[in-house]
């Protein structure tokens, strides 16, 4: 959670609010793949890797990795807690790219196995979801207009 804390802390400090950490918003658990390059995973876990690429909703990274369904379940619990605690106003949620995309798919009724191909929320982007009596409404997706143009257009981010 070091990156999420580093992202959220300046805003929390600026507005004088205490940061709250929620395990349900952590990054995907990659199991045995943690710390390995894509090339190593392809070589050492070829079948599992292909299955995960094909259907991540139901296929997890080898030995302890998480499926998209598991990530959606844990992150949705955090959102439900936030909705219960804060009936109105704005709440900043900071997490990791895959977790955010999976959570957005879950909120919007998009197939969890297609999170990589349906939600284009890049690193350091801002998305805004409005909750009302009709449910969640995605108002902004993956905005990075606040960034310097050179940073905003870096490949792979």
Give the percent of the chain with pLDDT over 90.
82
Q: Contact at 8 Å (CB) between 109 and 80?
A: no
6 and 79 housed in the same domain: yes
User: Domains in the chain: how many in total?
Assistant: 2
Least confident of 54-58, 69-73, 84-88: 84-88
Would the pLDDT of 156 be above 70?
Answer: no
Average pLDDT value for residue range 120-139: 93
Residue ranges making up the domain that contains 40: 30-65
Q: Report the C-alpha gap between 14 and 112 in whole angstroms.
A: 35
pLDDT tens digits for range 29-47: 999 999 999 999 999 999 9
Give the percent of the chain with pLDDT over 70.
98
pTM over 0.85: yes
- Residue 157 falls inside a structural domain: no
- Residue 18 falls inside a structural domain: yes
Average pLDDT value for residue range 128-156: 89
- Residue 81 falls inside a structural domain: yes
99 and 59 housed in the same domain: no
DSSP string, 30-69: -GGGTT--HHHHHHHSHHHHHHHHH-TTT-PSTTT---HH
- Residue 57 falls inside a structural domain: yes
- Residue 84 falls inside a structural domain: yes
Q: How many other β-carbons are positioned within 10 Å of the β-carbon of residue 33? A: 23
H or E element that contains 142: strand 135-143
Would the pLDDT of 71 be above 90?
Answer: yes
What pLDDT is attached to residue 123? 84
- Residue 107 falls inside a structural domain: yes
CA angle 142, 16, 1 (to 5 degrees): 50
């Amino acid at each position: 959670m070091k990156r999420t804390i580093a992202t959220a802390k300046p805003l929390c400090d600026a507005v004088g609010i205490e940061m709250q950490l929620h395990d349900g918003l952590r990054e995907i658990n990659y199991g045995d793949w943690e710390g390995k390059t894509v090339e190593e995973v392809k070589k050492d876990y070829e079948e599992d890797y292909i299955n995960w690429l094909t259907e991540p909703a139901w296929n997890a990274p080898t030995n302890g990795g998480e499926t998209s369904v598991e990530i959606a379940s844990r992150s949705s619990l955090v959102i439900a807690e936030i909705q219960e605690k804060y009936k109105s106003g704005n709440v900043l949620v900071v997490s990791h790219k895959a977790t955010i995309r999976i959570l957005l798919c879950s909120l919007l009724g998009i197939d969890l196995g297609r999170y990589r191909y349906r939600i284009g929320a890049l690193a350091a982007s801002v998305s805004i979801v409005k909750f009302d009596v009709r449910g969640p409404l995605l108002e902004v997706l993956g905005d990075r207009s606040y960034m310097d143009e050179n940073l905003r257009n870096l490949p792979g981010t």
